[in-house]
Amino acid sequence: MTTTAPNPTLSQAIPSITSGSSQSCQVPDYSVLRKTNFDKINSFYTTLLSSYTQNYSDYSKQNASNNVNDRTNAETILKPKVEASNNQIINLSQTMINSVNQDTDLINDQKNNLDKKTLKINSIISNLTMLKDKDNEMTVLSTARVDSLNSTKSNTEAMQFTTYVYIGICILITIVIIGLIIYLVSSTSSSSSSNSENKSITKNNKTNNLYKNIATNTK
């Protein structure tokens, strides 16, 4: 009777699958992890397939033998091994399908979480950009207000200076006009006095001449 190697267990081929939450602090090297899992699965499948092939070959030979003991051994020992190996291959395929589906779900979950975080980051960036724009706008408005106040202050000071100049000119003109009026009044009074004196002198001279003429005629 041919001896065969014991069948490997299914747990040897199942890669350890860790959810994203438990690896939140440390991200694995997925290329290394993928190669390690592939090598483990490939080794398990090769061993399982080799055991199945050997058991099936022995079963076929002994089941077709003319020896009753060989046929009995084939039905009682080899056939269950072949069926067990076949079931393990089927279970491995199903387990790998489930593992791929689970990995796909985990990838989709991580993608959804990444999309949500990306949306939050984009929202934060958008808010920061909006705040920055508002800050720049407020800076521009503040600068414009300061410039406007400075311009108003300069214009006010210029108008105040011009007003003072105008007031000074008006006062000077008023003083000149008052001086001219006083001068004209004084000149008019002096002229009137001179004329009166001249008239008085002329009158006296005429009177004296008249007296002189009368005295001459009397002699």
Q: How many residues does the chain have?
A: 219
2 pLDDT band (50/70/90 cuts)?
very low
User: Taking Cα atoms as reference points, which of 7, 11, 12, 13 lies closest to residue 84?
Assistant: 7
Q: Which residues contact 58 (CB under 8 A, 6 or more apart)?
A: 2, 4, 74, 78
The answer to whether the beta carbons of residues 95 and 14 sit under 8 Å apart is yes
User: Taking Cα atoms as reference points, which of 45, 67, 64, 66 lies closest to residue 56?
Assistant: 64
Question: And the tokens for 65?
Answer: 């033998």
Tens digit of each residue's pLDDT (9 = 90 or more) over 62-99: 888 888 888 888 888 888 888 888 888 888 888 878 87
Can you tell me which residue has the tokens 């001459």? 216
What local confidence, expressed as pLDDT, does residue 162 receive? 86
pTM of the entire predicted model: 0.41
What local confidence, expressed as pLDDT, does residue 125 receive? 92
The answer to whether the beta carbons of residues 92 and 48 sit under 8 Å apart is yes
25 pLDDT band (50/70/90 cuts)?
very low
What local confidence, expressed as pLDDT, does residue 153 receive? 83
User: Taking Cα atoms as reference points, which of 121, 139, 118, 51 lies closest to residue 87?
Assistant: 51
Report CA dihedral (190, 196, 197, 203) to the nearest 10 degrees: 170
The answer to whether the beta carbons of residues 104 and 19 sit under 8 Å apart is no
Is the torsion defined by CA of 31, 16, 99, 18 positive or negative? negative
What local confidence, expressed as pLDDT, does residue 97 receive? 83
- Domain spans of the chain, in order of start: 10-130
State the Cα angle at 75 between 71 and 78, rounded to 5°: 100
